[in-house]
Structures are given as C-alpha cells and as structure tokens.
Structure 1
C-alpha cells in the first residue's frame, strides 16, 4: 500500500466523524451482514465500523478488524474493548496472512483508493472469503468537484489536487467506479453496485464538514504545493474552496459507490 498521505494529528477524529456521519449499519445490512457471521473489516482504522459490525453479528458471530497502522489498531482495540467477538490484527490488506476461506462477509471502506494495484487487494479479500460468502468494497468516486454553482477555477484546482495525489502516492479518487469491472474480472457472482451520498451540502457546510476538508487540505500540503507552484498558491486555493463550502447559496455533494459480490 502507498504511504497513508492523509495522516495528521487530527486524522483519527476525522475518520471517526466521517464514519459517524454515514449510515454504515444500513450499508452493512443491505449488503448481507447478518447475525452469527464471521466477518472481516479490512482497513478498520479506529474501529467504529468494526464495532457496528460486531453489534450486527452479535455474540454468536465474530469480527476481525485489520489495519496496517499500529496507532489505528490501538485506537480500535480501545473503542471495541467491551466486544468479546472482536479481535484485531496488523497487516496489509493485500497480504493479510489470515486463513483462506475464513469469513462469511468481508467489508473494506476507503482503502482501495490507496492501493496502486487494487486487483491485488481484491484477490486477497477473495482468498480469505469462504465460497458463497460476500465481499463488499465501499469507496469514493470523484475528487469533490460536484455541485452548483461551482467556480471553474475551483473545479480545476480540486482536479489538480487529485492528479497530484495520484502521481505522488498512487491515490485514486475514482476507484469507486472501477470496482464493478474488477469484481467481474475476479470471477465474483451476484454483483450489485449501490450509489450513496458521501455527503450532500445544500447551503453552508457545518463545522464537522469544514474541519474534515481543512484537515485534508493540510495533510496534502507536501504533495499539493509543487503542483500548484508554491505552498502559498495551494493554501490560497484551499482557502477559496473552503469559502465555497461555506457559501449558503451553493450545493455541494460527493458520491460513495458500494460494490458487493459473492465468491463462487
């Protein structure tokens, strides 16, 4: 996996708030997670989704939270300390070293955008899923350039930022649309794709959303500044983008694509 370019002092808080803002339980239930299952949260981060998964599967099921970051795993273990059906392992999603055919349900959210070769990650998730089990990948589709009115210079700027992240760290903010094709090529059956909002901001963004974007912009400074010609030019772009997010007369939205399929 590429180095995690979003790491910062505020990243744990941003990840937790982002997870809380999404209807994660509904997405899990809608894609097949059920009581009694053995489940994997591949790329669990600070563990909020792992805890929701544990609640769904109940005491008769089990959930493994997997992440490559020892810091995130420590946070996840603390958050899930009262859930006996949870355990955590440190590993790359492309090489988990977990047993083959071990899980009924495998979930991975906001991980594949960081994989330079996402087919490798999907192959590993398939390996650890039992025949008849389900693999689910939820990820972004777009850099944050949807809405109206949306000044063209800001649209070009956010696309420039996405291109810089891809060139420097392999981050692909359009990976969501690519997963259906990858699922097909990997031989999964009963593939379904769900389109859901990552966020919809009709009017001024709230404090959480503003902080989320400010944290992203700050973390990406080392990658973005050269693409914009200078740190000052990038910071000016970020300031103007945040001002647009806070504009009460604009609509801003982003898309989450959830792809699920069954292992043959």
Structure 2
C-alpha cells in the first residue's frame, strides 16, 4: 500500500536522491520569476499567512520567504527527508517566520480557516485523490483566501526543436504510465473544474512559458537527462529508439546552436468565499 497516495517519491528516483533534489531545484527556478509575477497578480502580498503544500526540498518556499519577509510561511510535505532538506535552507533568523509540517495533503491536521494563500506546485499531477486535496485546501483557507495550483498538462507540454518524431509517442507513454499509477499528467485542463467542485469561486487560469533561449538550457538538460529514464528502458516501457531520442534532446541542447526547447506550466486559481 502506498502511504503517500501519490505517484511521486523522491527516494525512488533512478538518478539517486541527491541528484533528484538538484533536479527539483532547477525545475523550480526555471520559470520562478514569471510564476511569482503571476502569484502577485493573483493577489499574493507580504504579510499574508502562506501555506505551500508539497513543498518538497523547500526551494519555492525559500524564494517566497525572501520575497515576503513579513509573511509567516508553512511548508507541508509527507516526506521527512525532503522536509529536513527544506528546513536546512533557512538560518535561525529566517526560521522565525517559517514552520514545517509533516502531513498528508489529504489530511493536513492544520487549523480550519487559518491561511490567506495556498500554493501547490507540481503536486496535483501526482495525486491519487486530487479532489480530496482540493477540499482540504478549501478547509484550511480563510474566507477570502486564495489557492494557486501550478502544474502541467502534457497536451500542451511544450516543444523541442529540431523536432523528433519519437517525442510525441514518448509523451503519450508517460501520460499513460502516470494514469495507470494513479496520477494525471493532463491535470492542467481539469484544474478549473476541480477547484469549482471543491467550492472555490472566481476561478482563473493562466500559463507560464519557459524557453531555453531565455531561461538557459540547464533546466531542460536536467529534465531530459537520460539517466532519469534508464529504468523505463530496462523494463521496456520505452523502446531503445525512444530512449535514444531522449538522450538526443539533451545532447542537442548542449551542442547544437540551432536547438531549443520550451515548456508550458499551468496556473489555476480560486477564492474561498
């Protein structure tokens, strides 16, 4: 039985725990400037009481604390090792405004109506029961409080150039695998209805585009690191040709000046009225 009720555990990453944490850092920072701009547009302000669910190793939480020095911020995750890493990012002075909770997003144990703003980044695609998580977020928000979910949708995942004919089949396979495991890599398109069903109002949807020409190629190289997909190749979930195509993307981004990549992130928001 999976106590996380999630398709993701950092300790199971094929590249190893430390490398996975570094990958998460690069991923979090790729589009952070634009994501934070949108969070402000959605109403995030200094002094608000903030909860980040699925805070992982703490890199987004660290950025929030820097930008919002007067905001009490709670980081919640079920993974004890990730929470320890997150806590280690803050010195004693900074820890006065942050706290960490080891709990499930389905049952946080946090007081009802206690937060002004909830952020969930790259979490909902992994959840077996996203509706239950959204209801729990509604419970802990104050009336007038807002949730923002930042996630993906493989239907608009992005592009790599020059295009590879295998890329679409690889994306489809990962979408199918995630679905069979209980997650949803197409969650982006479902977020407005998910929030509406949980009782949120004034729902809105935005996207953030991250391009290698603008954000640098490092983040894309890490995401397409072939070591991450070796297990899928060994188990024959990916063919040798498809596995080679993934390796080729990272190689082209490193060595081909004509190569580039773009990823799209979805940001969905709603208010508890």
Q: What's the TM-score once normalised by structure 1's chain length?
A: 0.86
Map Cα deviations across residues 190-239 of structure 1 (whole Å, 9 max, x no partner). Answer: 11111111x21359x7244212321xx5344435633235xx55543432
2:247: which partner in 1? 239
In the other structure, the counterpart of 2:166 is: 153
Conserved? CA contact 1:145–1:159, under 8 Å: no
Counterpart selection for 1:45 from 52, 56, 68 = 56
Show the counterpart of 2:46.
35
Aligned counterparts, 1:127-146, within 5 A:
127-142=139-154, 144=157, 146=159
TM-score computed with the length of structure 2 as normaliser: 0.84
TM alignment of 1:1-264, pairs within 5 A: 1-4=5-8, 7=13, 8-9=16-17, 10-21=19-30, 22-23=32-33, 24-59=35-70, 61-81=71-91, 82-83=93-94, 84-142=96-154, 144=157, 146-167=159-180, 169-197=181-209, 199-202=210-213, 206-214=217-225, 217-223=226-232, 225-228=235-238, 232=240, 235-246=243-254, 247-264=256-273
Q: 1:17: how far off?
A: 1.8
In the alignment, the residues of structure 2 paired with residue 213 and residue 239 of structure 1 have an alpha-carbon distance, to the nearest angstrom, of 7
CA–CA separation in structure 1 for the residues paired with 2:244 and 2:224: 14
Q: Deviations over 1:157-190 (max 9, x none)?
A: 23223322332x2232221121011112222111
Are the counterparts in 1 of residues 205 and 268 from structure 2 also a CA contact under 8 Å?
yes
* CA shift for structure 1 position 95: 1.3
- Measured after TM superposition, the shift of residue 255 of structure 1 is 1.0
Q: CA deviation at 1:63?
A: 0.7
In structure 2, what is the Cα distance between the partners aligned to 1:220 and 1:93? Answer: 28
> Is contact 2:138-2:199 (8 Å) kept?
no
1:37/1:104 contact within 8 Å kept: yes
For the residues of structure 2 that align with 1:5 and 1:45, how far apart are their CA atoms? 10
Q: How many Å apart are 1:68 and its aligned residue?
A: 1.1
Note if contact 1:154-1:237 (Cα within 8 Å) is conserved in structure 2.
yes
Deviations 1:116-147 (A, max 9, x none): 22111111111110111001101012174534
